Structure 1
């Protein structure tokens, strides 16, 4: 049975490599479809105008007033080949996590398997806000579509390493100082309150603390040198905007990890389960990045559902501090039910909205 984990880890690596290939294909297809769409043509038109993609990217840099609009403008349209490939990659990522969870269930027992699935659901639901930051940073640094995948790949690798350290420190702190449980619970309840009651707004990244820290860390230039993170100016190495974007992504992930890691630790104290659920959720970020526009526009109740999950996990940790244990099965059921309910309500809301719009159009005509 012990041989099962190396096999499952190999599946995870294969998923990551396969996803990288698919993402590159999707990126190229997206650029082509974007060029045709902007010029008003389609693949079946005889008057399709061929345009330079790099020139086009400069012309159509997103200037949206909201993150939903920005995501919609920088993501492939539903039904396009790029969108379908992103869906395929997401399915591969989710299937890999499901297989790993099943292996954990077999090797470490039912409780460990259910903890993995609960932790994975929590971490995956929290990744939506992380993806918004990616969108904002790519827009701010005007990162060409062709270079975004490289930045995401290295960002994910860095996040995996950083989160391993944070998870080990967090679990060790709880084992030595039980009061840390209350600290983590407070962080989750505060995050839940913020999601519930603070409206999403556009952030001025020019005054962002993370960006200011990044600017102080490196001498930088304002132009790209292919996919390079560094370029030489008069023999002196300078950081390109791609590296600055990567540093901002890593620092932003550190900030988000302050929320997400306590949330998963609230489900399980097993470092292996906490890290593996984080790892599989992070590996799905690239495909979810491509689909995030649809998640935002089609699932308006996802954000409140995530807030409820954070509140539940925070309350669970407080109860645990006072020696009231909630079973893993109940935790998994609550997390799945809340997130599923948010998705279901969004679907019902969208159908009702579409019906109302149709009714209004029929009445006006």
Structure 2
């Protein structure tokens, strides 16, 4: 598989990693008091993360030229679009476990760190497989096409975070108290160290991150196998996931048709990956970037127009316990207040 190739010195990898670590630290310090994050604050932070992600593309343009920069932007956009789907499941998990609004950012912070680790592993493994074995492009491509199909036809499948095999395993191995103890993941009861319900919610979030990392990384590997571009596009897209959640959690029902757009993008990435190992070769980056932008724009625009008369009923909901469905009701019935759009047969909360 031919792809962009340029030398990335070790100091560049170290510098980018340091920038990512600093941004995570700044975000943690800014929200160390576990306050409830409002829409305005979340919107400001989302703007900051998006600006940083876009600015990095300009750095790449100055360093390596337009093709590398365009490839990064294509990867960044597809990862940003797929990250919106993560928000749906995060809302469901928080509603199901009735996670108080003030502690949701803490869970998401550690969830994002887990997401970055999972993606870093899959990036290097996936890129190496594509470089060594040409037939893995067909396997990954078929997986993406199947994922897109399942996303398009299985949007309303019911999911149950408590049935997740990882969550059930943790409950069996680690003594767990089914209550919240402030913002603590662990506490002591009668001298015994036990996990809190907040930790169980974190495990559910991490389990979804693991599943999401597979198709997200596969999708961007269809654009480029350059590990530096794949990693930076993933990292800068995921870094803004926490703020994105608080921006969109109350508006999720207005994205009624977004899953069709995401399904198209995944299927397109699958076809692109398969074509790369045929006489057709890799599709031009401008074409890829155009398809991504048009698909995201159309699916979001379609959703907003179709639900313009319904936003009064749902637009004012806030994440977590203040949702219209009621978090406690979600825990009792096993249903969340927001649907998952990425349900490709192995939904994160289902074993």
Aligned residues: 301
> What is the CA–CA distance in structure 2 between the aligned matches of 1:238 and 1:193, rounded to whole Å?
42
Pick from 217, 229, 245: which aligns with 2:201? 245
User: Could you tell me which residue of structure 2 aligns to residue 264 of structure 1?
Assistant: 220
Alignment of 1:227-246 (within 5 A): 227-246=183-202
Contact 1:266–1:316, Cα closer than 8 Å, also in 2? yes
> What is the CA–CA distance in structure 2 between the aligned matches of 1:191 and 1:340, rounded to whole Å?
21
Q: Secondary structure at the match of 2:249?
A: helix
Contact 1:210–1:252, Cα closer than 8 Å, also in 2? no
Shift of 1:114: 0.9
> What is the CA–CA distance in structure 1 between the aligned matches of 2:240 and 2:282, rounded to whole Å?
31
Shift of 1:22: 5.8
Contact 2:265–2:292, Cα closer than 8 Å, also in 1? yes
Instruction: Name the CA shift for 1:170/1:332 in 2 (closer, same or farther; >3 Å).
Output: same
What value does the CA root-mean-square deviation take over the aligned residues?
2.5
Shift of 1:13: 5.0
Structure number with greater CO (CA < 8 Å, separation at least 6) is: 2
Q: Secondary structure at the match of 2:158?
A: coil
Instruction: Name the CA shift for 1:169/1:6 in 2 (closer, same or farther; >3 Å).
Output: closer
Relative to the length of structure 2, the TM-score reads 0.78
Pick from 181, 195, 207: which aligns with 1:225? 181
> What is the CA–CA distance in structure 2 between the aligned matches of 1:142 and 1:199, rounded to whole Å?
23
> What is the CA–CA distance in structure 1 between the aligned matches of 2:15 and 2:130, rounded to whole Å?
31
> What is the CA–CA distance in structure 2 between the aligned matches of 1:95 and 1:24, rounded to whole Å?
23
User: Could you tell me which residue of structure 2 aligns to residue 337 of structure 1?
Assistant: 294
Q: Secondary structure at the match of 1:237?
A: strand
Greater Cα offset, 213-222 or 243-252: 213-222
Q: Secondary structure at the match of 2:35?
A: helix
> What is the CA–CA distance in structure 1 between the aligned matches of 2:51 and 2:116, rounded to whole Å?
20
> What is the CA–CA distance in structure 2 between the aligned matches of 1:330 and 1:166, rounded to whole Å?
26
Residue 85 of structure 1 pairs with residue 2 of structure 2: no
Unaligned runs of 5+ in 2: 1-7, 311-351
Pick from 175, 183, 206: which aligns with 2:139? 183
Q: Deviations over 1:123-182 (max 9, x none)?
A: 111112222222222222222222211111111112212211111111111111111111
Pick from 83, 87, 90: which aligns with 1:134? 90
Q: Answer with 1 or 2: which has the greater Rg.
A: 1
Q: Secondary structure at the match of 1:267?
A: coil
Q: Deviations over 1:238-258 (max 9, x none)?
A: 111122221221121111111
Q: Deviations over 1:213-261 (max 9, x none)?
A: 3323422112223222222233332111122221221121111111111
Relative to the length of structure 1, the TM-score reads 0.75
User: Could you tell me which residue of structure 1 aligns to residue 278 of structure 2?
Assistant: 322
> What is the CA–CA distance in structure 1 between the aligned matches of 2:304 and 2:207, rounded to whole Å?
34
> What is the CA–CA distance in structure 2 between the aligned matches of 1:277 and 1:339, rounded to whole Å?
17
> What is the CA–CA distance in structure 1 between the aligned matches of 2:98 and 2:255, rounded to whole Å?
27
User: Could you tell me which residue of structure 2 aligns to residue 165 of structure 1?
Assistant: 121
Unaligned runs of 5+ in 1: 31-81, 355-365
Alignment of 1:84-123 (within 5 A): 84-123=40-79
> What is the CA–CA distance in structure 2 between the aligned matches of 1:21 and 1:200, rounded to whole Å?
38
> What is the CA–CA distance in structure 1 between the aligned matches of 2:120 and 2:70, rounded to whole Å?
21
Contact 1:214–1:248, Cα closer than 8 Å, also in 2? no
User: Could you tell me which residue of structure 1 aligns to residue 99 of structure 2?
Assistant: 143
